Amino acid sequence: MQTDPSSTQLRASAPQILEAAIADVEQRLAALAQTLLERDSRGVDTAAVELQRALATALDCFSRHRGPVPTALRQRLAQASGQVASQRDTLARATAALDRAIEVLIPREAAVYNARGAAALAAHSGVVKA
């Protein structure tokens, strides 16, 4: 029985393909972390898009992979997943803090900031209308 050399080569290179996919995700995670530290909003947007692409590619590679995934690659993938979750939590906390700061600076129900501001202000100002 003769095997197809190209399929044998693909099976042999499968761990290298998975390795490259995980390495790309790790690289994109590091780039996103760096842009977050630098507070570079454009860089964060770019890095986040690149990370999403790398994650989609890695997911595709792993879903096409036949056979067991080497333990070291599974551990690296789990670690990358943990880093994504950590960065998501950090961004959520930062967003909540920013929202609170904006709420203090510009209250949502302040009479002077809404369309009925003048009427609401006059009603509560103590001025008596004749």
Tens digit of each residue's pLDDT (9 = 90 or more) over 57-112: 998 998 888 888 889 998 998 999 899 898 889 888 888 988 888 888 887 765 55
Tens digit of each residue's pLDDT (9 = 90 or more) over 11-47: 547 788 999 999 999 999 999 999 988 988 899 899 9
- What pTM does this model have? 0.65
Q: Which residues contact 15 (CB under 8 A, 6 or more apart)?
A: 70, 73
In the prediction, which pLDDT does 1 show?
46
Candidates 99, 84, 95, 81; CA nearest to 47 is 84
In the predicted model, is pLDDT for residue 3 greater than 80?
A: no
Q: Which residues contact 64 (CB under 8 A, 6 or more apart)?
A: none
Distance (Å, rounded) from C-alpha 101 to C-alpha 6? Answer: 60
